[in-house]
């Protein structure tokens, strides 16, 4: 369990006292890390501060709209002398390709994951927040910045990590924040359309492959999707095209645990899993068994295995006590 050594009020004072920041998102960025970082950057710029955003990967197509000309600059780490602040990053490993340069240097971490590591000098984690965007929402209020400065990225951050306010982590706090952001000018219909209803042809190919690969276990209570490097090559899929497939196993009636497994291009003996579950099954504990983590109903990890079949068997073994007797239903 993360241990905070700074309060949100103290974080607000930290930003008031300093002038130059580097805001760091987690690898394979989602709407929460991107929207939170962008909202914080806009708030800091409103306060006449300097802030850059960096990330190991480009956004998926459904998140590109957030930046619209404000995207991460091409950068040389040696030219960046701002104070490093991580946003929605649960562990240093999630810095991805930025870890060699920025690992061990993060001054402030702002996060909301239960399994968050205290890797920064100053650590603030609020696991009761549905999204990191909720924390940034509160922080912007403490800074005295009007919400209309950053309403759209904040709304996108909160909507993204709550599945459009459908997931079990959604609370009255979530809805109160969203209501205030709507009052401040966030265009919810446009944002939610871009997040959930606007798909590229590549993403549709990824969805088609995912549905074709889906298998069911334990009388339909577990569903698994596997995307291999052969699939990516055959369908000309980028990594950014694959973010769309993680939630689809939740949509199937009777499924309690949904697993999406993607083979690494860099190291084909590693498989990234995204786990989505119904309340009662701890997705974060399953992923922690493989060195990952996340939320009780949404988590991830990376598994070393000779091939996808071996990786799938390892996951299923942890779900069941034994990997034997798992009948696949067609």
Q: How far apart are CA 94 and CA 262, in angstroms?
A: 16
Structural domains present in the chain: 8-196 (3.90.1640.10), 201-320 (3.10.310.30)
Rg of the chain over Cα atoms, rounded to whole angstroms, equals 20
pLDDT for position 330: 36
pLDDT for position 147: 99
Q: How far apart are CA 129 and CA 173, in angstroms?
A: 8
Q: Evaluate the CA torsion angle 84, 86, 90, 96 in order and state its sign.
A: negative
Q: Which residues of 209-240 are buried (b: 16+ CB within 10 A; e: fewer)?
A: bbeebbebbbeeebbbbbbbeebbeeeebeeb
CB 257 within 8 A of CB 277: yes
pLDDT for position 325: 31
Calculate the alpha carbon distances from 105 to 34, 55, 76, 85 in Å: 20, 15, 16, 9
pLDDT for position 321: 54
Q: How far apart are CA 14 and CA 32, in angstroms?
A: 22
pTM of the model: 0.83
Q: What is the pLDDT of residues 88-131, one digit of tens each?
A: 999 999 999 999 989 999 999 999 998 778 999 999 999 999 99
Structure tokens of 190?
């446009």
Q: How far apart are CA 182 and CA 180, in angstroms?
A: 5
pLDDT for position 141: 98
pLDDT for position 239: 86
Question: Which residues of the chain are modeled with pLDDT < 50?
Answer: 322-330
pLDDT for position 72: 61
């Amino acid at each position: 369990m993360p241990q905070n050594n700074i309060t949100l009020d103290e974080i607000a004072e930290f930003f008031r006292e300093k002038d130059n920041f580097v805001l760091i998102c987690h690898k394979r960025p989602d709407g929460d890390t991107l929207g939170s970082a962008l909202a914080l950057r806009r708030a800091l710029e409103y306060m006449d501060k300097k802030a850059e955003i960096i990330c190991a990967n480009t956004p998926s197509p459904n998140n590109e709209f957030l930046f619209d000309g404000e995207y991460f600059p091409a950068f040389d780490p040696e030219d960046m002398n701002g104070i490093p602040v991580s946003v929605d990053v649960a562990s240093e490993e999630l810095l991805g390709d930025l870890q060699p340069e920025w690992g061990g240097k993060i001054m402030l971490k702002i996060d909301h994951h239960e399994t968050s590591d205290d890797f920064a000098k100053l650590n603030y984690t609020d696991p009761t927040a549905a999204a990191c965007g909720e924390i940034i929402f509160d922080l912007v209020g403490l800074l005295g910045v009007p919400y209309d400065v950053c309403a759209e990225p904040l709304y996108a951050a909160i909507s993204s990590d709550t599945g459009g306010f459908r997931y079990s982590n959604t609370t009255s706090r979530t809805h109160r924040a969203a209501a205030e952001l709507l009052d401040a000018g966030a265009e919810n219909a446009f944002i939610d359309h871009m997040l959930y209803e606007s798909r590229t042809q590549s993403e549709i190919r990824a969805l088609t492959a995912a549905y074709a690969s889906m298998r069911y276990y334990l009388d339909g209570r577990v569903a698994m999707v596997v995307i291999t490097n052969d699939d990516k090559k055959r369908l000309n899929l980028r990594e950014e095209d694959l973010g769309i497939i993680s939630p689809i196993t939740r949509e199937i009636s009777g499924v309690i645990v949904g697993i999406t497994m993607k083979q690494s291009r860099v190291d084909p003996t590693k498989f990234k899993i995204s786990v989505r579950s119904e309340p009662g099954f701890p997705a974060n504990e399953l992923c922690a068994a493989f060195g990952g983590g996340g939320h009780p109903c949404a988590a991830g990890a990376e598994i070393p295995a000779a091939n996808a079949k071996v990786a799938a068997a390892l996951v299923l073994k942890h779900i069941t006590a034994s990997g034997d007797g798992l009948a696949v239903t067609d």
